[in-house]
Structure 1
Amino acid sequence: MAHALAPAATITIRNLDGRVKERLRIRAAMNGRSMEAEARSILAVALAVEVDDAPDLAEAIRRRVAPFGGIDLEEHPAVTIGASPSFDR
């Protein structure tokens, strides 16, 4: 299912540290862009996440508990399943 592009939005960033603003100005100049265009580029790159790069549920849980030493679980015992159903008459 494709997502429609959202209409352009405007944001205001208040209380931006002067050093950050200066670094943004320099980076924008180095890339031949306005500060606004550079900020858009930085946000687009920082927030671009490919679906394939997103962890699955098990990996997300592992990452969440890893700082606490992980979790050791007992191995689940094997389960015997019966014969497959027959659809012959």
Structure 2
Amino acid sequence: MKVVIFDIEGTLTETNAVDSDCFIRSVGEVLGVRDFETDWSQYQFVTDSGVAQEISQRYCDRPMSGALTKAFHEHLVTELRGQPKS
């Protein structure tokens, strides 16, 4: 039997700060944007993809291409995997 567990907004674990740090580093590395709004409630979308797309549009004046979206997700996953296990 395989089970998948989704932890929404820190219900099971307190990882919001780690998630934010990894997301911020990924935006900087992949999109080249280092100074952007990090109050996530200021964004229309709530997913990583949606916020990244909005940051690209707002700060780079362009939508993210499919290749850039893929690169962003790969970088974000690498960042998250590099975090210590709790």
Tell me, yes or no, whether TM beats 0.5: no
Name the TM-score, length of structure 1 as normaliser. 0.24
Larger helix fraction of residues: 2
Please give the TM-score of this superposition, normalised by the length of structure 2. 0.25
Q: Based on CA coordinates, which of the two structures has the bigger radius of gyration?
A: 1
Q: Which has the higher contact order (CA 8 A, sep 6+)?
A: 2
